[in-house]
Amino acid sequence: MSSELESLRALTTVVADTGDFEAMRAYRPTDATTNPSLILKAVQQDAYRPLLEQVLRDHPGAALAEQVDRLLVAFGREILAIVPGRVSTEVDARLSFDTQASIERARQIIGLYERAGIERERVLIKLASTWEGIQAARVLQAEGIHCNLTLLFSLPQALACAQAKVTLISPFVGRIYDWFKKSAGADWDEAAHAGPDDPGVRSVERIYTYYKAYDIPTQVMGASFRNIGQIRALAGCDLLTISPELLGRLAASTAPLTARLSIESAKAEAPAWQASNEVAFRTELNQDAMATEKLAEGIRAFTADAIKLDALVTRSRDGG
């Protein structure tokens, strides 16, 4: 009998949300995603320390930002030797409100990959779904640099990404769930908000339905899962990026799995068309307390880990 993970593969492109090479070998995802927090966690492990040491040996005089980017690319190259598809590499979160700096950093990352013999088609540049990040992605996409817009919590963000013609978006299921659960406090009813009724699942389903109803080619990749029920409820989504822990639980389960999302059902319940521009984006995002708070919180958290990664590289470089 097939595992639930194998059943999911037949419905959705499975992506590993980790910097752990062994987990990727074990669960055989098509793609892999990384972020500053995952790379920081990985590089502190003995198994991955040689990647940092090699970067510092090969580029001792490089600026800190370049050394960090080279480290990210070193991880990406190792990942691409394991997965058949793409890897997502993130632009420094401290640039989330600086369009031009984000563009320049993304070009640098892609250049490092290409000089290492990796085609740009196998790399997704991750940018935060701020207005500035989305406009950076618009420029990069026009140059043939594929982008993955992350920290996405609302339809207005998704609409702006579609207009920018980004390759892929990563709406965060678990962090939406976290916000609503915390907001409800003692009144939270877990059973009433499980599976298809999970607020994070409903947000991703709304975006998926809108995209498919209007033939928007940008791919939807559900991310940031807290439990198996959220994954099951999004079976049929274009892609799902899943942590090793939850991949393991899916691999150990033989429960039946069927698609909940489909292009046909999306077209059958097409929502009203919505205009998207900077004023609408900023106004509607501001009106959504959850999306506003989680976007800001996510940028702060990734920034904190980027600073920690800088410090780790500096200590290693200086012999600390």
Domains in the chain, start-ordered, CATH in brackets? Answer: 4-317 (3.20.20.70)
Question: Cβ(67)–Cβ(56) under 8 Å?
Answer: yes
How confident is the model over 258-302, as pLDDT tens digits?
A: 999 999 999 998 899 998 999 999 999 999 999 999 999 999 999
For residue 97, pLDDT over 90 is answered with: yes
Q: What is the pLDDT of residue 115?
A: 97
Which residues are known to be catalytic?
126
Question: Cβ(34)–Cβ(244) under 8 Å?
Answer: no
Q: How large is the average pLDDT for residues 184-195?
A: 97
Between CA 72 and CA 75 the distance in angstroms is 5
This prediction has a pTM of 0.96
Return mean pLDDT, the chain.
96
> What are the angstrom distances between the C-alpha of 89 and each of 41, 107, 173, 281, 290?
15, 12, 20, 25, 26
Q: How large is the average pLDDT for residues 145-149?
A: 98
Closest residue by Cα to residue 170 from 292, 281, 33:
33
* Banded pLDDT at 36 (limits 50, 70, 90): confident
* Banded pLDDT at 34 (limits 50, 70, 90): confident
Of the chain, the percentage scoring pLDDT greater than 90 comes to: 95
For residue 320, pLDDT over 80 is answered with: no
For residue 17, pLDDT over 80 is answered with: yes
How confident is the model over 99-139, as pLDDT tens digits?
A: 999 999 999 999 999 999 999 999 999 999 999 999 999 99
> What are the angstrom distances between the C-alpha of 287 and each of 14, 183, 198, 280, 284?
33, 16, 21, 10, 5
How confident is the model over 43-92, as pLDDT tens digits?
A: 999 999 999 999 999 999 999 999 999 999 999 999 999 999 999 999 99
